[in-house]
C-alpha cells in the first residue's frame, strides 16, 4: 500500500483500495468491478468472477461523475494494466441492481435457514427478550409501529449491537415480502448474530452506493412515501 492511502475502519479480513479515492476499506464493503475478456467492465458484487478486478468505494453519483470525466476509465486502465477498458454508460444502474439482488437474495437465504422472524408480535418478543441481533423495518412501515419495536429493541439491550433503533429497509413491504417469500412482511428480527451481520452488511453496501449520506437507521433516511402504506396490519 502506498503512503497516500487512508485506512477506513477496522477489519480482521482482507482490505482493498478504491481505485478512485485511494482509500482502503474492508473488501466486503467495496464493490468489485470485473474485466471481461472483451474489455467490458461489469459489477461483481460477490467478488467471484474470474480474471482481473478492481474495487470502488464511492456512491452512484460520484461514480457516474468519474465515468463522465474519464477518471474511472483512467483508474481502471491502471488497475487492469490495459488500455482496453469499455465502461457501459449505465454501470451505476447495473451496480445498484446487483447490490439490490444481493441483499434480497441474502434475506431469502436467511428466511429459508430459519434465522429470522417476522410479524409484529414475534418481532417484539424477540427484541424485548434480547434474542434479536438486528431489527428491520420496511420503508413504508407506520411510524407508530416502528417506534414501538424500536423501544422493544432498546429494552432488550439492542443498543449493545451499536444501534438504538431498527434499520430501515430501502424499499417497501412488497419487496421485503417477496425477498422472504412471505406475505405482508413489514418488520423483521434476525435471531442469529452471524446472519444479522451478513444482512446488515448487504443492506449497508446497497444503501451506501445509492445515497452515501442517507443511512439506514431510520433517522436520516428519506421519509417513506405515505401512498405506499396501505393500512393493513403490519407483519
Residue 33: DSSP 8-state: E
Cα end-to-end span (Å), the chain:
48
Confidence of residue 224 (pLDDT cuts 50, 70, 90): very low
The pLDDT value given to residue 12: 60
Cα angle at 200 between 194 and 204, to 5 degrees? 150
Query: Which grid coordinates belong to 112?
Result: 429459508
What count of residues does the chain have? 235
Mean pLDDT value across residues 188-217: 90
Find out whether 35 and 85 touch, Cβ atoms under 8 Å: yes
pLDDT tens figures, 16-67: 999 999 999 999 999 999 999 999 999 999 999 998 999 999 999 999 999 9
Find out whether 146 and 199 touch, Cβ atoms under 8 Å: no
pLDDT tens figures, 87-141: 999 999 999 999 999 999 999 999 999 999 999 999 999 999 999 999 999 999 9
Radius of gyration, alpha carbons of the chain:
19
- Output phi, psi for 109, to 5 deg: -65, -40
**HEC sequence for 85-136:** CECCCCHHHHHHHHHHHHHHHHHHHHHHHCCEEECHHHHHHHHHCCCCCEEE
Residue 138: DSSP 8-state: -
Alpha helical stretches, state H, the chain: 60-68, 71-80, 91-113, 120-128, 143-155, 173-180, 193-210
Considering only CA atoms, which of 221, 43, 183, 200 is closest in space to residue 132?
Answer: 200
Whole-angstrom CA distances from 21 to 55, 67, 79, 159 are 10, 14, 13, 32
pLDDT tens figures, 147-180: 999 999 999 999 999 999 999 999 999 999 999 9
Q: What is the dihedral of CA 78, 50, 197, 224, to 10 degrees?
A: 70
Task: Give the 3-state secondary structure of residue 10.
Answer: coil
Q: What is the dihedral of CA 177, 216, 222, 98, to 10 degrees?
A: -60
Amino acid at each position: 500500500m502506498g503512503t497516500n492511502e487512508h485506512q477506513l475502519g477496522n477489519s480482521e479480513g482482507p482490505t482493498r483500495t478504491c481505485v478512485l479515492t485511494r482509500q482502503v476499506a474492508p473488501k466486503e464493503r467495496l464493490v468489485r468491478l470485473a474485466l471481461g475478456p472483451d474489455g467490458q467492465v461489469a459489477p461483481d458484487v460477490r467478488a467471484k468472477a474470474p480474471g482481473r478486478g478492481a474495487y470502488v468505494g464511492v456512491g452512484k453519483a460520484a461514480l457516474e461523475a468519474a465515468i463522465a470525466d474519464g477518471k474511472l476509465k483512467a483508474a481502471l486502465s491502471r488497475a487492469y494494466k490495459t488500455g482496453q477498458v469499455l465502461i457501459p454508460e449505465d454501470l451505476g444502474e447495473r451496480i445498484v441492481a446487483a447490490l439490490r439482488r444481493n441483499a434480497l437474495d441474502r434475506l431469502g437465504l436467511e428466511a429459508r435457514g430459519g434465522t429470522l422472524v417476522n410479524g409484529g408480535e414475534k418481532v417484539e418478543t424477540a427484541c424485548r427478550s434480547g434474542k434479536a441481533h438486528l431489527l428491520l423495518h420496511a420503508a413504508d412501515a407506520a411510524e407508530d409501529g416502528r417506534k414501538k419495536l424500536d423501544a422493544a429493541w432498546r429494552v432488550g439491550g439492542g443498543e449493545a449491537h451499536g444501534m438504538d433503533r431498527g434499520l430501515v429497509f430501502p424499499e417497501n413491504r412488497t419487496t421485503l415480502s417477496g425477498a422472504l417469500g412471505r406475505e405482508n412482511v413489514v418488520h423483521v428480527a434476525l435471531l442469529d448474530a452471524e446472519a444479522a451481520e451478513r444482512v446488515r452488511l448487504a443492506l449497508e453496501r446497497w444503501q451506501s452506493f445509492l445515497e452515501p449520506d442517507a443511512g439506514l437507521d431510520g433517522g436520516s433516511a428519506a421519509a417513506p412515501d405515505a401512498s405506499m402504506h396501505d393500512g393493513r396490519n403490519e407483519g
